[in-house]
Amino acid sequence: MPPHVAAATKNSRYNARVFLAPYWDEIFTQDTERKQTRAAAEARCAVMRETYTALGYQITELPRTDIASRADFVSAQLAL
């Protein structure tokens, strides 16, 4: 991890919890805006999970469901 990233997470952390949208094969797509391959998208998710964990964040994985249900989940988790 680059030193500036480690320093930023130490000095600028505003919450210990992060919400992670996991790789989801059923909705994966490539187009002119999303050029990542399936393998790259899956690997990126794994790296994000590993990095957040190594930095001491509590990961809350978003459920694999429709957008409205995800929003409701986040609101409930944050007690909004």
Q: Where are the domains of the chain?
A: 3-77
Share the mean pLDDT of the chain.
90
Helix (H) or strand (E) holding 42: helix 38-54
pLDDT digits (tens, 9 = 90+) for 39-67: 998 999 999 999 999 989 999 999 999 99
Contact 22, 45 (CB under 8 A): yes
Categorize the per-residue pLDDT at 80 as very low, low, confident or very high, splitting at 50, 70 and 90.
low
pLDDT digits (tens, 9 = 90+) for 4-22: 888 888 888 888 999 999 9
